Chains A and B, each alone.
Chain A
Amino acid sequence: MYSEKVIDHFTNPRNVGEIEHPDGVGQVGNPKCGDIMRITLEIEDNTIKDIKFKTFGCGAAVATSSMVTELVKGKTLEEALTVSNAVVAEALGGLPETKMHCSNLAADAVHAAIKDYLSKKNKV
């Protein structure tokens, strides 16, 4: 059902946790539908210096969260915003059809965290 890459990211997820005093926080999903992803960012010079995730969800939800952190770490915010849910799924070697919508929200969480950072920055 899942690709080897999905299983790898599920078994050994990268960047699990929560950054203390993050520059940006993004959370998508809700417990009712069974998937919640929370992304915290540390941003320096318009670049994602560090990123951590916490996810409640199925194997695909955990794997996409882990994968997106690898894809955007070290990238500029503009570059990170081009990483979509579809890009994440492709990087994992594809996801089962039923998982494409409900459990493939990790890039949305990153985008939400970047927007959170930008809105805070603009207020300062």
Chain B
Amino acid sequence: MRRIYLDHSATTPVDPEVAELMMKYYVESYGNPSSVHSFGREVKKALEEARSQVATIIGANSNEIIFTSGGTEADNLAIQGAVRARADKGKHLITSVIEHHAVLDTFKYLAKNGFEVTYLPVDSEGLICVEELKRAIRPDTILISLMHANNEIGSIQPIEEIGKITKEKGIVFHVDGVQSLGKIPIDVQKMNIDLLSLSSHKIYGPKGVGALYIRKGVKIMPLVFGGAQERKMRSGTENVPGVIGFGKACELAAERMAEDNKELTRLRDKLIDGILSNIEDVRLNGPRGDKRLPNNVNVCIRYVEGESLLLSLDMLGIAASSGSACTSGSLDPSHVLLALGLTHEIAHGSLRFTLGRQNTEEEIDFVIQELPKIVNRLREMSPLYHKKLSS
């Protein structure tokens, strides 16, 4: 059976060019970059080349990049590290209600340990209000942490506008750039970002690698001790093949971004329009146009439940995801969808398609053709749909 992968915000395949390069650093150039000998030195050189590739795609300098085990560690290091370095200056932190759990759960932990956290709400499209952010700032605010683009609904926050405010107020600004990297431009200078979390496996790089950009002069405390690697900010021998793969993936993403973007946006809009016009009682979650990631489609389909939709799609070889409770591992549906003001009932019927470089128009056509049949079948089984017909 043919398979159609539409879950690129969960993870992406490693680009063959990236995988090939990495292989060399497993079997051939296997030295420890901290070693003095030639085995170490040649790897150190490649590691620094990767650091430069990561720095370039976000407009940073190489010495501002720390490699981590992924986006989650980068978020933890940024938030806990920045707060620990500033605990004597204040105890107030600001974030939003739609952050990834790597951020939200870190704030929850800090809130239990003496810090006060303001969670900014979002509007019905998943965008925060800059005026509301301004009002939330207090004299003792020491950190503002916001995601650039949302992983579920693809909404893109006005980071540049917010960066002007944090710079003026002298508040450290952390941005979770895991979903935006490689999809839309990020410029840490223009956006006045102090700390930026990045992940490799969302941009056709390997899993288990990420990075934190730390603006020169911004102090943070490390979470991991034990060696002098990564300027003592992240001890432990670097995941060399992973880091080198990540560097290459950044280089390729920078080269292809404009072209990928154009094609993904076209397919995205085709899929959105195809779903909205072929199925009744469907709503699009998140904004349309430029304020939405070029590869994200997220809809709520009424009277059906998300996991049932996923299973049905999976039987046709189509891979998607959902924010229903059944897939979140908790009793509640996605916190992001609830934050948009959706009821539990509607949020349970959510479906996310995230497109990637390899998707074709034919694949999108297939989804547009098959999804209405799946929805019909499940609705015929649904007691909620029956009620609607009779009312």
| Segment at the interface with A among B10-18, B250-258, B381-389 | B381-389
A-chain residues with CB within 8 Å of residue B380 when the two chains form the complex: 16
- Whether A16 contacts B384 by the Cβ 8 Å rule is no
The size of the chain A interface, using a CB distance under 8 A, is 29
- Whether A54 contacts B382 by the Cβ 8 Å rule is yes
A-chain residues with CB within 8 Å of residue B325 when the two chains form the complex: 33-34, 102
- Whether B383 contacts A36 by the Cβ 8 Å rule is yes
State the CA gap A16–B308 with chains docked (Å): 15
State the CA gap A27–B304 with chains docked (Å): 17
Q: Please report which residues of chain A, range 43-65, place their CB below 8 angstroms from some CB of chain B when the two chains form the complex.
A: 54-62
Q: Mark B143-182, 1 if CB is under 8 A from A, else 0.
A: 0000000000000000000000000000000000000000
Decide if B333 is an interface residue (CB 8 Å cutoff). yes
Decide if A11 is an interface residue (CB 8 Å cutoff). yes
Tell me what chain B mostly uses at the interface: helix, strand, loop, or mixed: helix
**Given known contacts A31-B344, A34-B333, A34-B344, is B382 in contact with A56 (CB within 8 Å)?**
yes
- Whether B305 contacts A61 by the Cβ 8 Å rule is yes
B-chain residues with CB within 8 Å of residue A11 when the two chains form the complex: 315
Q: Mark B295-319, 1 if CB is under 8 A from A, else 0.
A: 0000000011111100100010000
Decide if A117 is an interface residue (CB 8 Å cutoff). no
The residue that A56 contacts in the complex, of B305, B329, B333, with Cβ under 8 A, is B305
A-chain residues with CB within 8 Å of residue B305 when the two chains form the complex: 34-35, 56-58, 61
Decide if A123 is an interface residue (CB 8 Å cutoff). no
Residue of A with least CB distance to B384: A56
**Given known contacts A56-B305, A58-B307, A103-B326, is B331 in contact with A33 (CB within 8 Å)?**
yes
- Whether A34 contacts B326 by the Cβ 8 Å rule is yes
- Whether B311 contacts A34 by the Cβ 8 Å rule is no
B-chain residues with CB within 8 Å of residue A98 when the two chains form the complex: 329
- Whether A58 contacts B326 by the Cβ 8 Å rule is yes
- Whether A62 contacts B384 by the Cβ 8 Å rule is no
B-chain residues with CB within 8 Å of residue A2 when the two chains form the complex: 311
State the CA gap A103–B326 with chains docked (Å): 9
- Whether A32 contacts B344 by the Cβ 8 Å rule is yes
**Given known contacts A31-B344, A56-B305, A102-B331, is B384 in contact with A10 (CB within 8 Å)?**
no
State the CA gap A10–B307 with chains docked (Å): 11
State the CA gap A36–B345 with chains docked (Å): 11
A-chain residues with CB within 8 Å of residue B348 when the two chains form the complex: 31, 34
Q: Mark A88-122, 1 if CB is under 8 A from B, else 0.
A: 00000000001100110000000000000000000
**Given known contacts A34-B325, A62-B308, is B381 in contact with A16 (CB within 8 Å)?**
yes
State the CA gap A102–B324 with chains docked (Å): 13
B-chain residues with CB within 8 Å of residue A32 when the two chains form the complex: 343-345
B-chain residues with CB within 8 Å of residue A33 when the two chains form the complex: 325, 331, 344
Q: Which of B304, B331, B380 lies at the interface centre, i.e. has the most chain A CB atoms within 10 A of its CB? A: B331
**Given known contacts A10-B311, A33-B331, is B345 in contact with A55 (CB within 8 Å)?**
no
Closest 10 CB pairs of A and B: A31-B345, A58-B307, A58-B326, A54-B383, A38-B383, A34-B348, A32-B344, A56-B382, A59-B311, A34-B325
| Chain A to chain B contacts (Cβ below 8 Å), 9 pairs | A10-B308, A10-B311, A11-B315, A18-B386, A31-B345, A35-B305, A57-B308, A62-B381, A98-B329
